[in-house]
Amino acid sequence: RVLGKTEDATKYAALFDSIKKAFAAAYVGADGLIRGDTQTAYALALRFGLLPEATRALAGKRLADDVAKRGVLTTGFIGVAHLLPALTLAGRTDLAYALLQNDKYPSWLYSIKKGATTIWERWDGIRENGDFQTPSMNSFNHYSFGSVGEWMYAVIAGIELDEQAPGYERVRLAPRPGGTLTSASATLETIHGAVGSAWTLAGKAFSLKVTIPPNV
């Protein structure tokens, strides 16, 4: 649609609609329960817009309740990139912040607490007792869990692209402070130049400094 390919846009919109209906019929109950009942199942369904309007809020609540009950994430490679964005879509950015700032296994800060300066392949690449996980699959330089950076840029820093103006011709800046953070800053290099967001929070006083390239 953005490229002016209206025929293709219509074709793929229809395809998506049929996929959405098939997914709902096969996997989604009227109460919003998704077969498998895992955090990843809800995160993917919410993030990809696969749920009927009537069950979207119910599924979001189911995901939020599971995260609140467990106090930890239970996603792996496939779901981890979508968990915090899905919680934000469900109106529970507070839980997303809680997961981000948790330092108990499994979590991002657990590895940092263990001395990590890179992204690990396993949440427990180094176990609580100091032993290494199985050497056959225990990289300390892996991409997957670093996908949380997308949520950090979009929600903490508040830097989001406008899908109707590709290539960052327009950007949306809307930071959403949370957790125990009192400041944050980020810079995103775009084809037009650097987009920056830096904020501080002191009591009820919120201060935001933005950097916008020319012609954006």
Q: Which residues of the chain register pLDDT less than 70?
A: none
Report the pLDDT value the prediction gives residue 25, as an integer from 0 to 100. 96
Report the candidate in 174, 177, 171 with the shortest Cα–Cα distance to residue 212: 171
Do 138 and 122 touch, CB atoms closer than 8 A? yes
Report the pLDDT value the prediction gives residue 165, as an integer from 0 to 100. 87
Q: How many CB atoms lie within 10 A of CB 136?
A: 5
Report the pLDDT value the prediction gives residue 183, as an integer from 0 to 100. 98
Report the pLDDT value the prediction gives residue 2, as an integer from 0 to 100. 86
Report the pLDDT value the prediction gives residue 10, as an integer from 0 to 100. 98
Is the pTM higher than 0.75? The answer reads yes
Report the pLDDT value the prediction gives residue 135, as an integer from 0 to 100. 86
Task: Please write the tens of the pLDDT for every residue from 145-178.
Answer: 999 999 999 999 999 999 888 889 999 999 999 9
Do 192 and 216 touch, CB atoms closer than 8 A? yes
